[in-house]
């Protein structure tokens, strides 16, 4: 692309050319002077040559200026890269100690957290141990018939229970019941399922009104509590007398210790010919305590 100065010189050449041509036309029409035309043409050629030399000189100057700008740009980019590299190097030097400090702080924080977690776990364990050592533990000791089994009579039984812990059992309530079940092996699964359902109901009791206080008995055999069971109907049958059936007594204690709900579920059975006279055996299932 021609610069403004080149365009200006080119326009001047065309203007002179037109003037020469105009003079030639006028000269031919008036005097038909061929020598004058030749002289003007030679002047035009010289002018064109001079302008060409001027254009080439201008182009050389522009080329030299362009190369100078290119070199200046290259040098500027190189200096910028050097400055950025130096800055990055300084940042790396500064970042190294900072990273080491951060890593050390993280290790220290991790160690402190592990120590705190261990201390918390130890505190929880100690608290549980303290509660376990001091809490109330209410549960049955034994169960026995008040009289022998006779057809036509209700069943009466006494269940002895105690608080073997060190704190009173607050708000103690209980449920107790009985049922007759076959003693054959095929019936054991149904009995176990019935008792498992009763245990689940006992476990779910978290709030209840009223209740009594059961004080620690401190392992003294005579210092136990008693609850009495009397069947509503006559449940004694010939199969119960013969030992084909058995009577199952089961119940649930619910109380609070350290203001925490606790549960004890128990099960006893009596089978003529298997159990000692009047003494209930502990069931192989239907037992729970928390």
**Same domain for 156 and 89:** no
**Same domain for 227 and 254:** yes
Block means of pLDDT (10 residues each) for the chain, length 290 residues?
A: 58 62 51 63 79 79 81 89 85 79 88 89 80 90 94 92 94 95 94 95 92 84 81 90 95 95 97 95 94
Number of domains in the chain: 2
The 8-class DSSP code of residue 207 comes to -
Here the CATH number for the domain that contains residue 223 is 2.60.40
* Dihedral in degrees, nearest 10, Cα atoms 56, 59, 64, 70: -150
The domain of 198 spans 137-289
pTM exceeds 0.85? no
Distance, in Å, from the CA atom of 276 to the CA atom of 187, rounded to the nearest integer, reads: 22
**Same domain for 24 and 106:** yes
**Same domain for 52 and 190:** no
At 25 the pLDDT is: 46
**Same domain for 158 and 128:** no
**Same domain for 85 and 155:** no
At 71 the pLDDT is: 86
Residue 163, token pair as written in the block = 């608080």
Domain boundary among 134, 166, 190: 134
At 93 the pLDDT is: 76
Give the residues across from 142 on adjacent strands: 160
180 contacts 241 by C-beta, under 8 angstroms: no
Return the number of other C-beta atoms located less than 10 Å from residue 51's C-beta.
16
**Same domain for 129 and 149:** no
**Same domain for 275 and 165:** yes
38 contacts 23 by C-beta, under 8 angstroms: no
Q: Report residue 12 CA to chain centroid gap.
A: 85
Residue 28, token pair as written in the block = 């031919």
**Same domain for 270 and 148:** yes
Give the residues across from 289 on adjacent strands: 264
Domain boundary among 134, 154, 175: 134
* Dihedral in degrees, nearest 10, Cα atoms 141, 145, 146, 149: 180
**Same domain for 280 and 146:** yes
136 contacts 255 by C-beta, under 8 angstroms: yes
**Same domain for 86 and 102:** yes
Residue 60, token pair as written in the block = 């050389």
Domain boundary among 114, 134, 154: 134
The contacts of residue 226 (CB under 8 Å, 6+ apart) are 158, 159, 160, 161
Helix (H) or strand (E) holding 226: strand 225-230
258: left (phi over 0), alpha (psi -120 to 50) or beta: left
**Same domain for 175 and 265:** yes
């Amino acid at each position: 692309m021609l610069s403004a100065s080149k365009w200006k010189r080119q326009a001047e050449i065309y203007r002179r050319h037109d003037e020469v041509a105009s003079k030639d036309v006028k000269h031919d029409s008036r005097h038909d002077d061929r020598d004058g035309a030749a002289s003007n043409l030679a002047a035009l050629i010289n002018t064109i040559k001079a302008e060409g030399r001027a254009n080439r000189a201008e182009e050389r100057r522009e080329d030299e200026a362009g190369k100078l700008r290119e070199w200046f740009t290259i040098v500027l980019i190189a200096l910028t890269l050097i400055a950025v590299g130096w800055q990055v190097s300084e940042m790396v030097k500064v970042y190294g100690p900072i990273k080491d400090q951060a890593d050390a702080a993280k290790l220290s924080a991790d160690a402190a957290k592990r120590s705190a977690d261990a201390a918390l776990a130890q505190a929880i364990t100690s608290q549980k141990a303290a509660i376990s050592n001091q809490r109330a533990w209410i549960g049955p000791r034994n169960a026995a018939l008040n009289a022998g089994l006779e057809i036509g009579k209700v069943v009466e039984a006494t269940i002895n229970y105690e608080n073997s812990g060190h704190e009173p059992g607050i708000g103690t309530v209980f449920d107790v019941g009985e049922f007759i079940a076959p003693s054959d092996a095929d019936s054991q699964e149904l009995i176990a399922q019935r008792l498992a359902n009763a245990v689940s109901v006992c476990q779910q009791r978290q709030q209840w009104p009223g209740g009594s206080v059961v004080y620690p008995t401190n392992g003294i055999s005579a210092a136990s509590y008693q609850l009495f069971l009397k069947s509503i109907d006559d449940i004694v049958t010939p199969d119960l007398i013969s030992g084909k059936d058995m009577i199952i007594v089961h119940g649930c204690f619910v109380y609070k210790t350290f203001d925490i709900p606790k549960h004890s579920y128990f099960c006893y059975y009596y089978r003529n010919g298997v159990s000692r006279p009047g003494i209930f055996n502990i069931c192989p299932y239907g037992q729970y305590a928390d």
